Amino acid sequence: MTAVMQEAGAPFGAAPPSGDAIVTEGLTKRFRGGQVAVDALDLAVPRGSVFGFLGPNGSGKTTTIRMLLGLVAPTAGEYAVLGLPQAEALPKVGALVEGPAFYPYLSGTANLMRFDAADPYAVRGTVRRRVEEALERVGLSAAAGKRYRNYSLGMRQRLAIAAALLGPRELLILDEPTNGLDPQGTREVRALVKEIAADGTTVFVSSHLLAEVEQMCTHAAIMRAGRLVAQGTIASLNGGLVTRIRVETPDEPGAARVLGSLGLAEVRIEGGQVLAELGGHAPEQINAALVGEGVAVRGLAVVRPSLEDVFVGLTGEGFDVDG
């Protein structure tokens, strides 16, 4: 099980820049109590992706992130971040781990300066500018001089994201970045993640909110009780499940007949609605056909399978069941 290399002194970094930003092979963490937090995890996070790391609370997401950041030693398995030895990879990684943590008696600016000082690669001469830019980016400029103690929960979360953006990053690891944020803040974080990803930075976001990940991620992995349930592009994860069309109409039999004549499968009527598998049909043509046949259409929607459906389909249980 333990795949430890013998040539420990061999130089790493053979991975080309185009390789995966995060790779794990059989990564396992068993805590002293015997509890297995992460069980033989094989993860591959492509560079440039926005990768959603999903799972209910207690499914091993944070432990995995702690291992990737070198805070917790794996019991078995291997991992690589940016294809570099840890000391060289971490300065290029911005991280938000299990909520914000700062010095309550320092201001936002002083806190960021403190963490910048801990990074051996950070350039001292540019720290003022970088701190200002990071605060600006998360919308905290006005509160920069305020003590952290007096920050609201949302401001604390923003400051933690600012800390992750202090330097030029190739990988951003965000553990539950929208925790404690109001809907407005959540939208801002989502926009920020998209903006960062647009610059080519790989973003690894953990979340227990499936809908949130679906909205901003290109790839996802789903964890359950320490094990990987599935991973891939959002499209491929959804691929196993079909997209349906839903027609709201007072004339259910008429609509069902039209859908059937168009060749749609699995047509069924559900109290004021007609559902069918969309297949390769264009929704607008279906609409035109319905109207052409004199069927009154009150509403028409394409129902895409959500990650929640994927999760339920794979595990046979609801997503909010704690591991």
Partner 1 sequence: MSTAESATSTATRRTPGLVPVTETMRTTERTEEPATDHPAAGPSGPSAPSGRRSAARATWAFWRLLGSELGLTFRRPRNLVMLAVLAAVPVVIGVTLRLVGGSDDGMGGIIQAVAGNSLMLTFVSFSFLVLLLMPVAISVVAGDSIAGEAGGGTLRYLLAAPAGRTRLLAVKYLNAVVYAYAVTAVVALSALLTGLVLFPAGPVTLLSGTTIPVLDGLVRIAITVGYVGAGMAALAAIALALSTFTEVSIGAIAGTMVLVIVCQVLRAIPELGSITPYLLPTKFTNFDAVLRSPIDTGALADGLLTFGAYILLFGTIAWARFSGKDITS
Which residues of the shown chain bind partner 1 in the complex (CB under 8 A)? 2-5, 7-8, 10-17, 19, 23, 25, 31, 66, 69-74, 76-80, 82-88, 90-93, 95, 97-99, 101-106, 113-122, 124, 163, 167-168, 170
User: In this complex, which beta carbon is closest to partner 1, that of residue 12 or of residue 211?
Assistant: 12
Phi-psi domain of 61 (left: phi exceeds 0; alpha: psi -120 through 50; beta: other): alpha
User: In this complex, which beta carbon is closest to partner 1, that of residue 71 or of residue 321?
Assistant: 71
| 199: DSSP letter | T
Residue 212: CB minimum distance to partner 1, A: 23
Instruction: Report residue 319 as tokens.
Output: 């997503």
User: In this complex, which beta carbon is closest to partner 1, that of residue 46 or of residue 91?
Assistant: 91
DSSP element (H, E) containing 184: helix 183-198
Residue 134: CB minimum distance to partner 1, A: 14
Residue 229: CB minimum distance to partner 1, A: 21
Instruction: Report residue 246 as tokens.
Output: 């839903």
- Order the strands of the 219-224 sheet from edge to edge: 93-96, 171-175, 202-207, 50-54, 219-224, 227-233
CA dist., res. 30 & res. 97, Å (int): 20
Q: At 124, which amino acid appears?
A: R
User: In this complex, which beta carbon is closest to partner 1, that of residue 16 or of residue 183?
Assistant: 16
Residue 222: CB minimum distance to partner 1, A: 22
Tracing tokens 């390789």 back to the chain, one arrives at 19
CA dist., res. 58 & res. 60, Å (int): 6
Residue 235: CB minimum distance to partner 1, A: 25
User: In this complex, which beta carbon is closest to partner 1, that of residue 87 or of residue 303?
Assistant: 87
Nearest CA-CA partner of 39 in 9, 14, 59, 68: 59
User: In this complex, which beta carbon is closest to partner 1, that of residue 138 or of residue 255?
Assistant: 138
Residue 164: CB minimum distance to partner 1, A: 9
